[in-house]
């Protein structure tokens, strides 16, 4: 049996896992109003954080979901993986919130820490660019053709590429 399914399950209301009636209410809400996005904050030390929003699914086959159901409850709603992809869904990319250099076990090589380092660098660049644009009304970022790509009027849009920016 495969450990991954072509069906995705969104378990409903983990905080109500012992109350099927509450989970049924969440199911009815989804049927009438759609799925709600949950907030996921990614911290970059004292540099700030980015809030992303997601709906979580599991691709564990239903017959292997006992452990998962013990945490989230036994009430869920399922979708074909292809339907979620058509709506813009994609697999999650997990990473750890520390640099691999900070790892306690120096023998482990963890690419997820490298991803966090890359995202931290990008976050730092966007932060510096945003601050420069806000602090100096003459500062601008130009493209190859000499056209202004960002100036001080655009500083509010930096960090809003599908996420909230906070510092």
Beta strand 140-142 with 76-80: parallel, antiparallel or unpaired? unpaired
3-state secondary structure at position 158: coil
Q: What is the pLDDT of residue 157?
A: 61
Segment among 16-25, 38-47, 77-86, 143-152 with least mean pLDDT: 38-47
For residues 143 and 46, the model is more confident at 143
Cα–Cα dist 84/121, whole Å: 31
Q: Average of pLDDT values for 53-72?
A: 88
pLDDT level of residue 80 (50, 70, 90 thresholds): very high
Section 124-146 average pLDDT: 84
Contact 15, 71 (CB under 8 A): no
CA–CA separation, 142 and 150 (whole Å): 7
Q: Would you state the pLDDT for residue 86?
A: 92
What's the average model confidence in pLDDT over 112-117? 70
Query: Average pLDDT in the 70-95 region?
Result: 85
In this model, does residue 1 exceed pLDDT 70?
A: no
pLDDT band at residue 164, thresholds of 50, 70 and 90?
A: very low
Residue 32 has pLDDT above 90, yes or no: yes
Percent of the chain with pLDDT over 90: 13
| pLDDT at residue 137, as a whole number | 82
Q: Which two tokens stand for residue 96?
A: 């750890």
Q: State the Cα–Cα distance between residues 57 and 10, nearest whole angstrom.
A: 5
Q: Higher pLDDT residue, 38 or 109?
A: 38
| Model confidence pLDDT, tens digit, residues 3-17 | 778 889 999 888 998
């Amino acid at each position: 049996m495969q450990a991954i399914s072509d069906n995705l399950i969104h378990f409903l209301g983990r905080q109500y896992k012992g109350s099927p009636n509450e989970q049924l209410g969440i199911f009815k809400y989804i049927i009438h109003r759609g799925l709600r996005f949950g907030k996921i904050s990614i911290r970059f030390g004292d540099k700030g954080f980015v809030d992303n929003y997601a709906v979580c699914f599991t691709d564990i086959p239903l017959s292997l979901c006992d452990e998962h159901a013990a945490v989230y409850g036994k009430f869920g709603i399922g979708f074909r993986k292809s339907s979620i992809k058509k709506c813009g869904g994609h697999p999650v990319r997990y990473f750890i919130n520390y640099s691999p250099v900070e790892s306690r076990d120096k023998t482990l090589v963890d690419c997820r820490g490298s991803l966090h380092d890359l995202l931290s660098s990008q976050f730092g660049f966007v932060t510096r660019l945003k601050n420069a644009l806000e602090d100096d009304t003459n500062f601008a970022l130009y493209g190859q053709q000499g056209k202004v790509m960002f100036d001080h009027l655009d500083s509010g849009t930096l960090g809003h590429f599908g996420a909230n920016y906070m510092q």
